[in-house]
Amino acid sequence: MRVAVFSCKPYDRDSFTRANGVFGHELSFFDAALTAQTCSLAEDAEAVCVFVNDQIDAHLLRCLAGRGIKGVALRCAGFNNVDLAAAHEVGIQVVRVPAYSPHAVAEHAVALMLTLNRHTHRAFNRVREGNFALNGLLGFDMHGKTVGIIGTGRIGTVLTRIMTGFGCTVLAQDQVENAECKALGVRYVDRDALLAQSDIISLHCPLTDETRHLIDHRSIPLMKQGVMLINTGRGALVDAAAAEGVILPVIDTVELLRDLDLTFGAVMLNW
Could you write out the three-class secondary structure of the chain?
Answer: CEEEECCCCHHHHHHHHHHHHHHCCEEEECCCCCCCCCHHHHCCCCEEEECCCCCECHHHHHHHHHCCCCEEEECCCCCCCECHHHHHHHCCEEECCCCCCHHHHHHHHHHHHHHHHHCHHHHHHHHHCCCCCCCCCCCCCCCCCEEEEECCCHHHHHHHHHHHHCCCEEEEECCCCCHHHHHCCCEECCHHHHHHHCCEEEECCCCCCCCCCCECCCCHHHCCCCEEEEECCEHHHECHHHHHCCECCCCCCHHHHHCCCECCEEEEECC
| Positions of the chain with pLDDT lower than 50, given as ranges | 249-264
The answer to whether 207 touches 80, Cβ cutoff 8 Å, is: yes
What residues contact residue 237 under an 8 Å CB cut-off, 6+ apart?
203, 205, 207, 211, 212, 213, 214, 215, 231
Domains of the chain with bracketed CATH? 2-95 (3.40.50.720), 102-269 (3.40.50.720)
125: amino acid identity, one letter = N
Point out which residues pair with 188 in neighbouring strands. 172
Distance CA 230, CA 201 (A): 6
Buried b (16+ CB within 10 A) or exposed e, 214-224: bbeeebbeebb
Q: pTM of this prediction?
A: 0.81
- The pLDDT, as a whole number, for residue 264 is 42
Cα gap 188→156, rounded to integer Å: 13
Whether residue 41 contacts residue 32, with contact meaning beta carbons closer than 8 Å, is answered with yes
3-state secondary structure 3-70: EEECCCCHHHHHHHHHHHHHHCCEEEECCCCCCCCCHHHHCCCCEEEECCCCCECHHHHHHHHHCCCC
pLDDT at 38: 97
CA distance 171 to 103: 19
The pLDDT of residue 248: 55
pLDDT at 234: 84
